[in-house]
Amino acid sequence: MPMNIDRTVTAVEDLRILARRRVPRMFYDYVDCGSWSEATYRANSRDMAEWNFRQRVAVNIEGRSSETTLLGEPVAMPLALAPAGLAGMQCADGEILAARAAAAFGVPFTMSTMSVCSIEDVAAATKRPFWFQLYMMKDRTFMGDLIDRAKAAGCSALVLTLDLQVQGQRHKDIKNGLSTPPKLTLANLANLMTKPRWCWGMLRTKRRSFGNIVGHAPDIDDTSSMALWVSEQFDQTLDWAAVDWVKARWGGKLILKGIMDPEDARHAVSAGADAIVVSNHGGRQLDGAPASIHALPAIVDAVGNETEVHFDSGVRSGQDVFRALALGAKAAHIGRAYMYGLGALGEDGVARCLSIIRKELDLTMALCGVRKVEEITRDTLVPRN
């Protein structure tokens, strides 16, 4: 990590700015975009500020700790790295680097089905358990094999994403002609010439495609055949019976991601979810859906202590983590924040992102007069209006 990093990178926003300079446009835009008008994408972060903090004084705040447990396992803070596709296109071997940073810091890393590195790559490189994210696909044989590979890799939880039976329309991806690896059009070549650091990294790695799919799915041997296969595979018949199938096939801890409605949260509890993630997919699916922070309290009230409630979408700081915890979440998940870190500084960038968030969480706890994350409750917040 550069010697002056503590002075130049003091917030996640600094990592975003640096990533924008270093990552090719199509892959930066893939991270930093939402669907349609991007209204929900913007609201996820903006609406966090509708909750102010209740500042307290003359309270003993010595000995604060952000440590807690998630799914029964100790963590350094109530945070997980969310599944994010194409992490290996933010920088070479991105999933491996992010998993290493998360393991060293002491928080869970979630690997996406649509990753560039494979499950086996990350397992071999980290030697630590991680979570694996699964989409419901039509090819149940492939899904079963993928679940078995996650078991063999020692994954400690399976994250089933429920809100991507169809893909939201993301205008930037369409206009950029997003592909992995990038198509060598004149526009893309011109842009790549301005990103020598990224290009050098990609030349040095063999991982430039979707490692969990190419060579594993039937008749998928290259990226061109894979694109058509993936577009046809998202299963629009996904229902709670399909969730039951996944749970039985997996047999371990199951997290259901994409819950935005109290009724769906109750269904998830009935399905035996060990945790649910309140998430609108970072504003990348249904534009016009409410910001996740608005959906969180009603879902917490609906399921109580029947399952762990995690929170995702819009988290950019430790203060956002505090807000989510105060509104009843057991943990927050970050996607874009750590992807900015990857694009900016690789493994060091992810580590820096996590350090920034923990420091911000710790300082907010101190100024609100709490010493343990379990003490962060709704009365530590004040509605802005």
Per-residue pLDDT reduced to its tens digit, 291-310: 999 999 999 999 989 999 99
Residue 335 known to bind ligand: yes
CATH class in words for 5-383: alpha beta
**Side chain identity at residue 265, one-letter code:** A
Residue 284 known to bind ligand: yes
Q: 150-188 burial, b if ≥16 CB within 10 A, otherwise e? A: bbebebbbbbbbbbbbeebebebbeebebebebeeeeeb
Q: What is the pLDDT of residues 340-369, one digit of tens each?
A: 999 999 999 999 999 999 999 999 999 999
Residue 112 known to bind ligand: yes
Residue 237 known to bind ligand: no
Q: What is the pLDDT of residues 163-208, one digit of tens each?
A: 999 989 999 998 988 887 787 788 889 999 999 999 999 999 999 9
User: Could you tell me which residue, 281 or 209, shows the higher pLDDT?
Assistant: 281
Where exactly are the structural domains of the chain?
A: 5-383
**CA-CA distance, 340 to 23, in Å (whole number)?**
9
Q: For residue 112, what are the β-bridge partners?
A: none
Find out whether 113 and 159 touch, Cβ atoms under 8 Å.
Answer: no
Residue 340 known to bind ligand: no
**CA-CA distance, 178 to 255, in Å (whole number)?**
29
Find out whether 242 and 136 touch, Cβ atoms under 8 Å.
Answer: yes
User: Average pLDDT over the chain, rounded to whole?
Assistant: 95
Q: Which residues are catalytic?
A: 281
Q: What is the pLDDT of residues 111-148, one digit of tens each?
A: 999 999 999 999 999 989 999 999 999 999 999 999 99
**CA-CA distance, 323 to 381, in Å (whole number)?**
7
pLDDT at 223 over 70: no
Residue 382 known to bind ligand: no
Query: In the structure, what pLDDT confidence band is assigned to residue 1 with cuts at 50, 70 and 90?
Result: very low
pTM of the predicted model over 0.85: yes
Residue 170 known to bind ligand: yes
